[in-house]
Amino acid sequence: MTEIHLHYEVLDGNGPHIMMLHGMLSSKAQWDLNVEAIQKVARPVLVELLAHGRSAAPDGAEAYDPEYYVVMFEAIRKKLGLETWFLCGQSFGASLTLRYALRHPERIIAQVFTNSSSALAGEEYLKTYRGTAEERARLMEQGGMEGIKKLPIFPGRARRLPIEARDALVRDAELLQPKGLAQTFRYSSPYLSVREEAANTAVPTLLVCGALEKRFKPNYEFAVENIPNLKVVEADAGHAVNIEAADIFNEAITAWIKEHNHDAG
């Protein structure tokens, strides 16, 4: 039996379930400005990454393998008794939800993702990242929570986020587990990209893109050219588009769910 190390919460709502997965150093608080709108058309299943939020931080390497994440997602789906569901992934989380949709398209009604360089990274970038993965992991182990707070992506350093959203993420950041994050740097981050498989995507896919994040532009262009029948909604926002442009994101995702929920009405 698959061991589920991931914390997940099923919220009330109307319609099909949608699994929602946040990014690195975040938590289920990533979706605080979105869930109320989504609950009108779906039932959010908020999942937290290993070593994040309320999830476990296993010692071994296996659980951090992106393919094992897919196994855990399937185990959650089966535990909830669902035949199919929607997916929504943000940043690091998007690399895992896109992978899940590639492995089990028959279980996915449709999917949404936001800016995710990790999901679409090219081989040159990955070679460089793999070369520094162990160094990054050791720094995380040695630096502990203070080391985490020095990372550029620590939520307390965010400048574009509404204060309430940022404060919620900072509070949950106290739950981050450095040893588990070290394993994430070793065994997850260097292997997240699904770039080589993107053209095989077989489920309806929506990208809600924060157009102000220049780093994502090459990967955005790749996605448009290579993910079949991709729909894009752009917003004047940066990396955390679902927070920075919550109204646009909420309108886009709820319309997408309504369009693809064939049981509605």
Q: 250 or 145, which is more confident?
A: 250
Using the 8-state DSSP alphabet, how is residue 209 labeled? E
Neighbours of 34 (CB within 10 A): 20
Please name which of 203, 204, 206, 197 lies closest in space to residue 226, comparing C-alpha atoms: 197
The pLDDT-based confidence of 124 (bands split at 50, 70, 90) is confident
CB 82 within 8 A of CB 177: no
Which residue, 146, 97, 118, 165, is CA-closest to 24? 118
pTM for this model (two decimals)? 0.96
CA separation for the pair 93, 89 (Å, rounded)? 5
With vertex at residue 56, the alpha carbon angle to CA 50 and CA 61, rounded to the nearest 5 degrees, is 60
Quick one: angle between helices 178-187 and 123-150, nearest 10? 170
The one-letter code for the residue type at 226 is N
Q: What is the set of domains in the chain, with CATH numbers?
A: 8-260 (3.40.50.1820)
Proportion of the chain above pLDDT 70, given as a percent: 99
pLDDT digits (tens, 9 = 90+) for 180-212: 999 999 999 999 999 999 999 999 999 999 999
**Can you tell me the distance from the alpha carbon of 207 to that of 120, in angstroms, rounded to the nearest whole number?**
13
Report the pLDDT value the prediction gives residue 263, as an integer from 0 to 100: 63
